[in-house]
Amino acid sequence: MTLEAKLRTIADSVPGRLGLAVRDLASGETVLMNADDWYPMASVFKIPVLVELIRRVERGEISLTERVTLSQEMKSPGSGVLSELDPGACVTIKDLAMLMTIVSDNTAADYLVARLGGGPAVTRAMRELGLEGIEIGHDCLGLIMSLAGLKPEARSPETIAEMRARLENEDSLDLNNEVFRSTLRRNSATPRALLELLARLEGRTLLRPESCEVVLDILRRQQLNQRLPRFLPGSTKFAHKTGTIGGTRNDCGIMYLARGPVVVCAMIKDLPPGPEAAVAGDQALSEVGLAVYQAYNS
């Protein structure tokens, strides 16, 4: 069975819609499935944020060694560790970039998004880099407020408290919020666009070669490895980023195999509520990773 046939079989088993963009960089062979559809990125949007951060460093606008003091006001809910720390902790910009990526820290991400001028500024940067299929409109807090059925811009202490209360009750979550409608392209991307970003990153052409290496070094340190890399041998290197929100399960990155690197962007949207669908989505992504590994690890 060909890789494309295996991937279509996996896609048929998913209770949502699977989008794929796979490229063996050694041969150029590419497999695409729903690759021009728009998918909510969830925390995969942190890859473009990381790229733009390092581009600003490259231009001398931001220093990775600059220190930032954590405040209570900086904290965003959801994944990560910074929201659990006492105010006053001091970290560098590079620390924030690392935490944002390898443990998907939302507090780190939201601070960096703000420093970069907001999600739309990152979108403009992607356009300047020639990447059309990536749209960022909100930070992590905005996405989570949308999931709780609240307006992303309404950030008073009262609405934040209401958001936290709703997050504790799954029935209060708004999976149909406009932010998660891929047709509106709010914090969404196409698998093809993310493939092009990662392929140019690995090719050291997206930014200066040394800047690309900084981004790749951080992505290679990923600690959330229960999707695409789950069934791979532990020695397999994989520079990647996951994303989870509502009915979305994503994993996008670069698999380093004996014959060379392979870019894999796998995105699932429209999963129904409930743990069974979430488990099925994660299982499908793991099967995609194994199928790609078996096809190209020779």
User: How far apart, in Å, are the Cα atoms of 11 and each of 47, 71, 147, 191, 284?
Assistant: 24, 44, 26, 14, 7
The CATH number covering residue 18 comes to 3.40.710.10
Which residues sit opposite 251 in a β-bridge?
A: 242, 266
* Spatial separation of the C-alpha atoms in residues 214 and 125, rounded to whole Å: 18
Strands (DSSP E) along 120-159, which ranges? Answer: 134-135
Q: Which amino acid is at 32?
A: L
Compute the average pLDDT of residues 238-266. 96
* Spatial separation of the C-alpha atoms in residues 90 and 134, rounded to whole Å: 32
Q: Which amino acid is at 43?
A: S
pLDDT value, residue 146: 82
pLDDT value, residue 159: 87
Chain CA centroid to CA 133, Å: 14
Domain holding 192, by residue range, is: 3-296
Give the total residue count for the chain.
298
Q: Which amino acid is at 61?
A: E
Q: Read off the pLDDT of residues 62-106 as tens digits, 9 standing for 90 and up.
A: 999 999 999 999 999 889 999 999 999 999 999 999 999 999 999
Q: Read off the pLDDT of residues 208-220 as tens digits, 9 standing for 90 and up.
A: 999 999 999 999 9
* Spatial separation of the C-alpha atoms in residues 89 and 252, rounded to whole Å: 31
Averaged pLDDT score across all residues of the chain: 93
On whether the CB atoms of residues 96 and 140 are closer than 8 A, the answer is no
Q: Read off the pLDDT of residues 228-239 as tens digits, 9 standing for 90 and up.
A: 999 999 999 999
Sign of CA dihedral 221, 240, 14, 145: positive
pLDDT value, residue 180: 61
Q: Read off the pLDDT of residues 114-162 as tens digits, 9 standing for 90 and up.
A: 999 999 999 999 999 999 999 998 899 988 888 888 887 878 888 888 8
Q: Which residues contact 35 (CB under 8 A, 6 or more apart)?
A: 19, 20, 21, 190, 191, 192, 195
Q: Which two tokens stand for residue 57?
A: 């460093």
pLDDT value, residue 161: 85
Structural domain total, the chain: 1
On whether the CB atoms of residues 269 and 253 are closer than 8 A, the answer is no
Q: What are phi and psi of 257, to 5 degrees?
A: -115, 175
